[in-house]
Amino acid sequence: MPRPRLSRAFTAPWRVSRRAVIYVALALLTVAVVSLVVSSGHWLRARRVDLTADKLYTLSPGTLQIVDGLQRPLRLTLYFSEHATRDLPVLRSYEQRVRDMLQEIAARSHGRVQLSVIDPVPYSDDEASAEGAGLTPASGGSNGERVFFGLAGSAFPPGIEGDVAESVAPERSLAIAFFDPKRESFLEYDVAKLLYELNQGSKPRIGVISSLPVEGNPVLGQQPWLALQQLGQLFDVKTIDPGSLKQIGADIRVLLLIHPKHLSDDALYAIDQYVLRGGHLVVFVDPYAELDDTQGDPATALPPDHSSDLPRLFAAWGVRYDPHEVVLDRSHALSIELGGNSVSHPAMLWLDAQQLNHDDVVTASLQRLDLSTAGHFDLAPNANTRLIPLLQSSNDAEEVPVQRVLQAGDNPSLLLQDYKPDNINYVFAARLRGSFASAFPERAKQPGHLAQSAAGDEVILVADTDLLSDRLWVEPQAILGQTMMRPFANNGDFLGNLVDNLSGSSALLSIRGRSTSQRAFTRVDALRNVADQKFLQKEQELERELAETRQRLEELQPGKSGAHAGSVGAEQRQEIEQFRQRQLAINKELRDVQHQLNAEIDALGVRLKVINIVLVPVLVALLGLLYGWRRTRRNRQRR
């Protein structure tokens, strides 16, 4: 018996209700997805995946250690002029990089770091707050507006959290005056350093051992050296007497050893053990310290010894240093006034950006350093350490005995006679990094003796002490009736950066320079290089033809051939006309090369646009259609 057919009136309500259920389900799914996307910005922030090639948005272990070790609540305020930078895409892109890093730090701090972003519009309270926090605006914004782009940080007493901090005065405030895109590779270090310093309750203590009058002489009215005065503004500087030195306390964050002379074995042993305990040491030695006032011995008629050295420690560390040799560099000789004349002194040097290590945070922002009668460092063949240069000479330098420099004191030009460059970049200052062995193995039985340091420890070596003296980097200048010291070199900044870098924790020191977010167009650069080669070939071809034409014209001059003057003039005009035609043809070929380069670059840009705008979406759509078709087919087969 045939099965009865259901009427349309009976099936229609079922179909309508099923469609409604599908629509309602889709609507609910859409609301759930949108809610998930909106809310995930907060609770998924710490679970982001960094897919960049150099892990630009992944915090280094050193930064995470500093963030996890915060003992007091911090408030960070990022000031960025949105309106003033609307025509500065590079700065806006960098601001996004800075903001992402700060948000990552705040997300991982478990509430100890509060971040806010403020746009200090002109003539507003926010602009005054940015200036009061120590930020430095840059010029060049839209409509001549000032551009603020810096970070202000405040530290509050432990236990103060949330809204309570708004009514409590901060214990300490610091700032990054301006985020310079040129320092992007040190962005993480600068931010981590700010966090570390805000978390500290007092100034780090710096120890100084020196045989030079770096602290001045109040009896003679001599002021402390300006470089040391500046350190006293940021650190607790303590002078250590080497005569009674038995041990260097753990409270000494950085030890400055300036021109060490005649140190006792006990003092050397104290320095040795300080380094092996992980202490941070900066050594300034010099083949000839010009401010050393040591007098000679009249009994022996020997000249005074103005050199300094640490032979026992250097030997244990694998360092080679000769206290009787000075580096000359005629390419960087300072001009000095001598006898009313300006002369170049190859033993007094100015170092520019080419001689500074701009991959190191200490020297990255420095532009010029002045040295005088400096020595150099090298590694011994059996060294287990690495020497990372901070300052070095050009390859036009020469090593000469100290005595030769002293003999040419009144006539520095004598140092240029028979000058023979060694074709070596001599290292004036460097980081010595590795595992250090004790220079006193015979004291192994003493209580607490250390025979070896941990791997990765480091000591800073500088082969000149004169760079710390005022005369090589500042000069007095009268301003409004007061004498001010105007710097013309970055010597003081160099010392400050050294101490600033080493006074941080081991976590801070472990943060190295990172890659920048800017990527070069390598394919475009390759095309330009090829075009430059073509240009160079065409230019050389033109120059050769020009030389040949000139030679031909000289041969056609009267008296150099038997031709009459009239015929000679005609031949000259013909040669000149031929050369002009060839010159026009070569210029046209040069333009064709440039047009070809532009065409290839434009074609590359078009291909990239087609791939990004057309091909990728089409592939995604095709994959979606294929997936949908296969799923539909599978459902039909199941039925």
What's the CATH code, domain 61-199? 3.40.30.10
**How much is the CA Rg of the chain, to the nearest whole Å?**
35
pLDDT of 525 over the 70 cut: no
**Spatial separation of the C-alpha atoms in residues 506 and 455, rounded to whole Å:** 12
Contact between residue 147 and residue 88 where contact means Cβ atoms under 8 Å apart: yes
Scanning the structure block, which residue is given the tokens 């074709």? 423
Count CB neighbours of 59 within 10 A. 20
**Spatial separation of the C-alpha atoms in residues 305 and 602, rounded to whole Å:** 68
Closest CA to 288 of 407, 178, 396: 407
pLDDT tens track for 558-610: 554 444 445 556 766 777 777 777 766 766 766 666 666 666 666 766 777 77
The one-letter amino acid code at 375 reads G
Q: What are phi and psi of 388, to 5 degrees?
A: -105, 105
**Average of per-residue pLDDT across 504-512:** 71
Report the SS3 class of residue 372.
strand
Using CA atoms of 286, 290, 291, 295 in order, give the dihedral in degrees to the nearest 10: 100
Tokens of 171: 């214990």
The one-letter amino acid code at 129 reads S
Tokens of 181: 């895109």
Scanning the structure block, which residue is given the tokens 């960049």? 52
Q: Distance of alpha carbon 230 from its chain centroid, rounded?
A: 22
pLDDT tens track for 395-452: 999 999 999 999 988 889 899 999 999 999 999 999 999 999 999 999 999 999 999 9
Residues present in the chain in total: 639
pLDDT band with cut points at 50, 70 and 90 for residue 11? very low
Scanning the structure block, which residue is given the tokens 């140190």? 263
**Spatial separation of the C-alpha atoms in residues 188 and 428, rounded to whole Å:** 28
Tokens of 616: 């990728």
Q: Who's near 498: CB < 8 A, 6+ residues apart?
A: 282, 362, 460
Contact between residue 464 and residue 445 where contact means Cβ atoms under 8 Å apart: no
7 DSSP 8-state letter: P
Domain ranges in the chain are 13-43, 61-199, 205-292+305-508, 522-638
How far are the Cα atoms of 222, 460, 538, 600, 608 from residue 526, in angstroms, in the given order?
60, 40, 19, 11, 16
pLDDT tens track for 37-82: 666 555 554 455 655 555 556 788 888 988 998 988 999 999 999 9
Least confident of 236-240, 542-546, 580-584: 542-546
Question: Topology of 205-292+305-508 in CATH?
Answer: Rossmann fold (3.40.50)
The strand pair at 427-434 and 474-479 is best described as: unpaired
pLDDT tens track for 356-396: 998 898 998 899 999 999 999 999 998 999 999 999 999 99
pLDDT band with cut points at 50, 70 and 90 for residue 201? confident
pLDDT of 553 over the 70 cut: no
pLDDT of 110 over the 70 cut: yes
